[in-house]
Amino acid sequence: MTPTCPSCRARSRRPGQYLCPACWGHLPRPTRRALTRRGDRGQALARLRQLHTQLDAGVLLADIRITA
């Protein structure tokens, strides 16, 4: 089963991707950079939590910021 994009909930995303390609392209560049940063696994999980928290709160993709 292909996972659904947590942003648009309409398009599918590949396993290992945070969002579908269309939604990913609407994120600000610094946000995309923060989400793809390699390093400590705990920090990566914190960044993913920030993304999902903001999506669940209805924050527009263009306004999402990742701070960790």
Full 3-state SS string of 5-66: CCCCCCCECCCCCCCCHHHHCCCCHHHHHHHHCCCCHHHHHHHHHHHHHHHHCCCCHHHCCC
Q: pLDDT tier at 1 (50, 70, 90 boundaries)? A: low
3-class SS of residue 4:
strand
Q: Which is more confidently placed, 19 or 14?
A: 19
Gyration radius of the chain's alpha carbons: 11
> What is the value of pTM for the model shown?
0.87
Mean of pLDDT values over 20-40? 93
Long-range contacts from 44-53, C-beta under 8 angstroms, 24+ separation: 48/18, 51/18, 52/6
Q: pLDDT tier at 39 (50, 70, 90 boundaries)? A: confident
Mean of pLDDT values over 39-58? 91
Domain ranges in the chain?
28-63
